[in-house]
Amino acid sequence: MKQCLVVDDSSVIRKVARRILEDLQFEITEAEDGQQALDECRKTMPDAILLDWNMPVMDGLEFLTSLRAEEGGESPIVVFCTTENDVAHIARAIRAGANEYIMKPFDREIVEAKFQEVGLI
Amino acid sequence: MTPGEFEFLKNFLKTRSGLVLSNDKQYLVESRLLPIARSSKLETLSAVIQTLQRSGNRALETDVIEAMTTNESFFFRDKTPFDNFRDTMLPALLQSRSNFKQLKIWCAAASSGQEPYSLAMCLKEEAAKMGGWRTRILGTDLSLEVLEKAKAGLYSQFEVQRGLPIQLLLKYFEQKGDMWQIGAPMRSMIEWKKLNLLENFAHLGEFDIVFCRNVLIYFDQATKSEILARLAKSLPEDGYLVLGAAETVVGLTDAFKPVPGKRGLFQKKPAVHAATGPGASTRFAAGGVAGLRR
Ligand SMILES: C[S@@+](CC[C@H](N)C(=O)[O-])C[C@H]1O[C@@H](n2cnc3c(N)ncnc32)[C@H](O)[C@@H]1O
């Protein structure tokens, strides 16, 4: 079973994402901000990370930049999932090493399409 | 809607767009046609059908036919056909057409444009191999409404997230408010035309590749056979036909054979390109289905 870390400060979003991803046969761990996510990754590197942008303590972009600099941090496939939906934000995320990008609001079909796109399913 | 009215509607749609409605589709008819009943001030489904029966109301006929089509589409739908396009069809044609350096592609049920635009993006991504080549993509559909949308190339945030890799969104689209518009260079690669596949399309000439996906599924066997037989005439011996994931030529025509190991991809059988479908000869004898329209 593949592991996916869901990073979002909203417990509602985490729950929705968990339900969708569990149906797609992922084992889910959760984090509420970038710092928690980084701690999780230092314990076990997941196969995939679904990543919000705006979060307290450490935001998604900062997390991603730190992650990619960590040992083994190039391996997880990172899919941003955020309300930031303008070209500038998307381009920054890609440059920082994101593999795909979901613009909220999202649904099951979009998550499935994007995870397929990056070869996770 | 009485059983007689439903029967009339079934026949009307079958002759005009090829759509086969089974008897359990009354709910579909209601959900698609009630909005028309309201907007045309006819109020009830029965009134709509009775108006069709009296005939002559072209606008209403078109509205009903278009409302009953299923237009769902998305970018790079099913992925495989576009991989096949890049890895099988293009390399073969780039070689065999290297003297003419010209490629003609037809999307025969283009809907709101995602399929032709996906092909246009594929071509742009392969541009390095295609210096000096002229490519033409034709997108046709029965429905003017979807063609208008295709021409505008404007898609919702939801639509650009189904099948379109984010890199391609960044590269080829512009943000327009909460919509995304495919860029002018892409739009200029495609020509749009209204075309009913039941009618003669020989005047369009020959194409190297025909995408005819997720439209034959709505037709009966005879209609499928007849259209496939005519599609064979629109393709040269080494051309390609691409059908939808749930569609095949097997049992419908002798004109095409599956390309081994390539799902949804078909080529003509050498030397056999006569119309073979059971419906083919009778329809042509009747002067083509176009003749039935008036
Ligand atoms: C489900 S869409 C397929 C779109 C695209 N090819 C794809 O696979 O995503 C089917 C399209 O076929 C069109 N269509 C239905 N009957 C037709 C006919 N007789 N001639 C031409 N187009 C037709 C509909 O208007 C609709 O846009």
Is the predicted pLDDT of residue A26 greater than 50, yes or no? yes
> What is the pLDDT at residue B17?
98
> What pLDDT, in 10s, does the model give residues B25-34?
999 999 999 9
B145 with B206, same domain: the answer is yes
Burial A48-59 (b: 16+ CB within 10 A, else e): bbbbbbebeebb
A101/B163 Cβ within 8 A: no
Helices B58-67, B144-152: axis angle to 10 degrees equals: 70
Query: Which CATH number characterizes residue A18's domain?
Result: 3.40.50.2300
> What is the pLDDT at residue B285?
38
Domain assignment of residue B75, yes or no: no
pTM score, two decimals? 0.92
Mean pLDDT value across chain B: 92
Q: Compute the average pLDDT of residues B158-179.
A: 96
Domain assignment of residue B73, yes or no: no
Q: Does B281 touch chain A (CB under 8 A)?
A: no
Read off the amino acid at residue A98. A
Q: Domain of A28? A: 2-117
Protein residues with CB under 6 Å of any ligand 1 atom: B 17-18, 69-73, 77, 109, 111, 115, 141-143, 146, 196-198, 213-215, 244
Report how many domains make up chain B: 2
> What pLDDT, in 10s, does the model give residues B179-202?
999 999 999 999 999 999 999 999
Residues of chain A contacting residue B157, judged by C-beta atoms under 8 Å apart: 85, 103
**A87, A94, A110: residue with CB nearest B161:** A110
A106/B175 Cβ within 8 A: no
pLDDT band at A75 (very low <50, low <70, confident <90, very high): very high
Report how many domains make up chain A: 1
Q: Does B169 touch chain A (CB under 8 A)?
A: yes
B93 with B171, same domain: the answer is yes
Query: Which CATH number characterizes residue B282's domain?
Result: 3.40.50.150
Domain final residue, candidates B25, B41, B68:
B68
Q: Domain of B213? A: 80-291
**C-beta neighbour count of A106 within 10 angstroms:** 21
Residues of chain B contacting residue A104, judged by C-beta atoms under 8 Å apart: none
> What is the pLDDT at residue B271?
67
> What is the pLDDT at residue B55?
83
CA distances from A102 to B109, B137, B256, B291 (A): 29, 30, 41, 49
> What pLDDT, in 10s, does the model give residues B108-125?
999 999 999 999 999 999
Lowest mean pLDDT among A34-43, B135-144, B222-231, B267-276: B267-276
Q: Does B175 touch chain A (CB under 8 A)?
A: yes
B24 with B140, same domain: the answer is no
